[in-house]
Chains A and B, each alone.
Chain A
Amino acid sequence: MKAHYGYKDGSGEYFIVIDTDRCVQCSDGACVPACPLGLLERIQDDYDDTVCAVKEASRNKVKYACAPCKPVGAAAAPPCVAACARAGIRHTW
């Protein structure tokens, strides 16, 4: 499942996309501790799979919360993306 966490507002679309089919194969959830602001968590989804997700309280502020890890012009991937060995996380902006 491709889970889009985030929002669209007047300034653009800000979604963190997590491919939970890849999460299911992951036992360590390395992306969770990689996020310096603790936006990610491991949850049991509606189909009883253990997957990563953006915390509910953080979903409507990802543009600002992720900004320190995504400076304009940065070539390196944000820590959460870099930590996922299965390339299961991406940002739409």
Chain B
Amino acid sequence: MVIDTREHWRWPEVHWVNKELDWRAGGAITAGVDVGSISSKTAVMVDGKLYAYAILRTGASSPDSAVRATKKALEGTGLEIEKIHLTIGTGYGRINVPFAQKTLTEIACHARGANFVWGPTVRTVLDMGGQDCKAIQCDERGKVTSFLMNDKCAAGTGRGVEAFADLVKVPIEKIGEESFSIKEEPKPISNTCVIFAKSEALGLLRKGWDRNVVIASYLSAMAHRVYTLLERVGIAKDFVISGGIAKNPGVVRRLTTLTGIEPLAPNPQYDPQIVGAIGGALFAHAMLQKQKGAK
């Protein structure tokens, strides 16, 4: 018997540099460091334009994770952390970014980042993070007008999908597409707790349910759970989804069916996981401009 020891939850880490920009020619270098519970993201901007970013897995130490993500973003550019003029820390571990001059909540940063990535028509942002879920409404400037965050449990979050990918032995990047290889959409399973959902899924698999039907059932439960949170805040067009689960069509398409509102497609230039860090870097840029104007 061959035992499958692969880590199906492991998502690919990302590093991107804008080769058309030269940081040496820029006046204001700012960074947003979003230390989440699952992933750490750094976005570096030069004069308000995205220059580089990296998305890495958060380790046991938030400060180390922030430094690693930032060093990765700057890899091969010749730019060093010390040369960044202003850094804003955001996310779950925002107070643990050792080189940040200021911290802001990820709610404000996601709204600002979504405004930059998708444009000023964005009114609703759903951030499906590693261990929480945020529904945000914002105005045409990316300022938050209403928000709700649920981090009471991991159901409906990225960590839940990771745990489920490992259970059904399907790589996390493929789990969304696999959920559509079914004849009929099943009813959602328990959506109140990852542990209950896992044990219910295991029970269904043992009863002989097709694996893809169980995956569809789980992702449908996630979509239902998130939908109730969105309903509380209200969903207005344009609607966008950020965070790792934005890359999971199994959740996104089911959520679209529930809301009746098609979210804007991910901007191919920007990874949906980097939206909060971009927001942080934009806030830093604005602060820097304000400081320069005051002098």
Contacts and interface: CB of A to CB of B under 8 A. Distances in A.
Q: Please indicate whether A and B come from the same complex rather than being unrelated chains.
A: yes
Contacts of A92: 232
Contact of A10 (B107, B145, B192): B192
Interface stretch (B68-76, B150-158, B236-244, B266-274): B150-158
Contact of A4 (B145, B149, B151): B149
Interface string A7-33: 111100101000000000000000000
B233 A46 contact: no
Contacts of B148: 4, 15
B136 to A, nearest CB: 10
A60 to B, nearest CB: 5
B147 A47 contact: no
A44 B108 CA distance: 13
A2 interface: yes
Contacts of A8: 150, 152, 225, 228-229, 232
Interface of A: 1-4, 7-10, 13, 15, 46-47, 60, 92
21 contacts: A1-B145, A2-B146, A2-B147, A2-B233, A3-B147, A4-B146, A4-B148, A4-B149, A4-B233, A7-B151, A8-B150, A8-B229, A8-B232, A9-B152, A13-B228, A13-B232, A15-B148, A46-B104, A46-B107, A46-B144, A47-B108
Given A4-B232, A4-B233, A46-B107, A9 B153 contact: yes
Given A46-B104, A46-B105, A60 B151 contact: yes
Interface residues of B, number: 22
Given A9-B192, A10-B193, A1 B233 contact: no
B143 interface: yes
Contacts of B149: 4
Interface of B, helix, strand, loop or mixed by DSSP: mixed
Interface of B: 104-105, 107-108, 143-153, 192-193, 225, 228-229, 232-233
A2 B145 contact: yes
A31 to B, nearest CB: 19
Contacts of A3: 146-147
A8 B232 CA distance: 11
Contacts of A60: 151-152
B152 A7 contact: yes
B154 to A, nearest CB: 12
Leading 3 A-B pairs by shortest Cβ distance: A10-B192, A7-B152, A46-B108
Contacts of A15: 148, 232
Given A2-B147, A4-B146, A8-B228, 17 more contacts: A1-B144, A1-B145, A1-B146, A2-B233, A3-B147, A4-B232, A7-B150, A7-B152, A8-B152, A8-B229, A10-B192, A10-B193, A13-B228, A15-B148, A46-B107, A46-B108, A46-B144
